[in-house]
Structure formats: structure tokens, C-alpha cells
A = this chain, B = another copy of it.
């Protein structure tokens, strides 16, 4: 059989996530301290509670939990999330997905066809960028400042692209503790972004895995909430939230809040792509939420991650040469480092491995053809405080010429 002749263009053009390959490279190095991964700490998983809840779920509701379920998700879980969430929406405005990436894929599957444009913050989450490219979307990168995506540049890019006859359908953003930059979009910028999106009839895809993991500063309302409350628009924003960073990504339970027509389309794609999200995990998360265990558990995670963030930032201040700067995220899992213009963190990666420390070179977080090379991402949720202390020392040696 000639398999390649049968594959579609998108499959043949697909790139793998280079981060996985980088992470593989780090595995053979004894004594290496890695800030490269994007994993939550296993210490953040409520294993004992979940073991009990999974057991009870199967014993008490096994006949239902092991059966087929709704493509949109279990009603009881939707109800529990409606109670848990910080803004209000209806049952038919929520979809339960197999993790956040799956919710994002259903949104893409609903709107995007090859050649369509998606605006993205630049840099942004590589997993989403490779998916956009895989399905044949063109990515329009827009830069950020300390308040998030530059909305003036956004309007310019939209006008320019439309003059070239391009179809812009979506703006992808991670407003809170962005991956990889750690930047949080200001309240004012959020309103500005929604105004631009509504004026131009472009959907906002709000990817929010981290907003519950805030260590300092005041919580800022989500784009989905602002759009509903201030702009009286239920359709402009698709908000994707997840239990991956709260209970564990192995559970694959996330949810999408959007206008009800959009949710209906996503349910319909879900029926064809996954049929239903794993039922036992859905029921277990329902029980976990209804037992009201989550608020205290989130406090525990904050108590776990905040000292790690603080440690990393204080180590950066005490070790790094003066020509290097970094973001000070109020939450999440990542800090972004800027080396002087002209430096190349891809080239420095091997030197770092020699010093037994690893990071992700910033170039990996830009759409193809738009790479910048002097940034890099550090993760602080997975290493220990001691590893952060030693690892940042090593990294400073790499960057001190």
C-alpha cells in the first residue's frame, strides 16, 4: 500500500510539538534540573479524596457511570459547574469536554476551514498553535505588553488582513498568567478586546486553564463574564476552563461556556469525535464539586505554588546579569525571560544542558515564520524549591558571558 498517497494534505504537513522532543532530550541527563515541562506538580493532586470518590461512584452509580452518556456532558456535572462558576449562564450554554484542548478543537471544528485566519497573542501556547496550523488555519500574531494583547495592533492587523481578502474568524487568547509569558490582561484591555471583536464580528476563544491559580493581586473578571455583563453579548466569547491544573490533567475534564447555538454545534461534533467524555471521571468530579472540597483544595495548591514562584523570582533577582529581564506573574505556572536582543536561546540550550539545567527556548511559542529567539520559558510548578535555587544559579552561569 502507498499510504502517503492516501493521507490528506494536513496530515502530511503536520508538525509535532517540538517541546516533547526537547523534553525527551533532557531525560538522559543525570542530575539535570528541568524548568522545561508544563506539568502541574503531582503534589497538587487530591489522590486520596479521588480514590474514595471514584470507588463510591462506581459502587453507587456504576450502571449509569459505565454506560453511554450525553455528547454534551452529564447534566449533574453541568449543574455543579453552574453553581461553582463566578458568572451565570444556562445549562445549554455549557459543554463538558475531554480536557481543554478537546474543547478548543470542537470550537475550531465548528468555525475554521483551511485558509481561515486566527489571531493569536505572540508568543502563545504551542499546543494551540500547532493545532491551528495542522487544521490549515493561518495565524495572525499580535504582540503583547504588560497589560496583554495590543488592541491597537490588533485592529490594524484585522484591517490589513481584510483588505487582502482574508477571512478572520477567531481571536485566541490566554488572558490570565499566559502560557508562556506569565502576562495577565488588564480589565481595561479586556473590555477593549471585546469591543474590537464584536465590532468586527470575530469570535474570542478564551483559554483559561490558570485563573484559579492566583497567588497575588486581585482576580480580574473573565472575558466571557465581561462580554455578558457589560456588552450584553452571550456569543462573542467562548470560554474554556479545565480541572487539569486543579485536580489533575489525567482526568481529562474541562468545560466550554459559550452561546447556546455554538454549544449545540460543539455537542454535535463531540458526538462524531468522542461520543461522550469519560463518564466515571465526570461523575467523580461532580461529587468532588458537590462535596465542596474544591475551594480548600485550591488554597492548598496556591500554598504549594506561591513559594515556588517567589523563590524563582528572588533567585532571578539575586543571580541574573543586569541585561536580562523577566515577567513577575501573579499566578499560573510560568515565567518568561528576555535575553538581550541578538541572543539566541535555541543556541544556548545545549550549553544549558551541559550545566544540567533546561528550559524551553522562546522561539517554540511563535507561529511558523514569526519566531523570535531571545526569549525563553521557565516552569516553576514542577521543580522543588531546592531545585529552583540550584537551577537558577546554573542558568545564570549559562547567560553570563
Contacts and interface: CB of A to CB of B under 8 A. Distances in A.
A130 interface: yes
Contacts of A250: 64-69, 276, 278-280
B66 A39 contact: no
A246 to B, nearest CB: 11
Contacts of A261: 3-4
B11 A111 contact: yes
B45 A50 contact: no
Interface string A1-27: 111111111110010110000000000
Q: Which of the listed residues A2, A14, A62, A102 has the most CB atoms from chain B within 10 Å of its own CB?
A: A62
Contact of A3 (B40, B252, B259, B278): B259
A236 interface: yes
Contacts of A8: 110-113, 116
A1 B198 contact: yes
A373 interface: no
A164 to B, nearest CB: 19
Contacts of A64: 42, 250
B247 A101 contact: no
B1 A110 contact: no
Q: How large is the interface on A (under 10, 10 to 19, 20 to 34, 35 or more residues)?
A: 35 or more
Contacts of A99: 274-276
A3 B272 contact: no
Interface string A51-93: 1101100110011111111000000000000000000000000
A252 B278 contact: yes
B16 A39 contact: no
Given A3-B259, A262-B3, A251 B268 contact: no
A274 B272 contact: no
B45 A51 contact: no
Interface in A87-108: 98-99, 101-102, 105
16 contacts: A1-B198, A3-B262, A4-B261, A6-B202, A9-B113, A11-B268, A42-B64, A42-B66, A47-B58, A47-B62, A48-B59, A51-B59, A66-B248, A68-B250, A102-B275, A250-B280
Given A3-B203, A6-B170, 19 more contacts: A1-B235, A3-B259, A6-B202, A14-B269, A16-B271, A42-B66, A47-B63, A47-B66, A50-B62, A50-B66, A51-B54, A51-B59, A55-B55, A68-B249, A69-B250, A135-B272, A252-B276, A252-B277, A278-B281
Interface of A: 1-11, 14, 16-17, 39-40, 42, 45, 47-48, 50-52, 54-55, 58-59, 62-69, 98-99, 101-102, 105, 109-113, 116, 127, 130-131, 134-135, 169-170, 198, 201-203, 233, 235-236, 247-252, 259, 261-262, 265, 268-269, 271-281
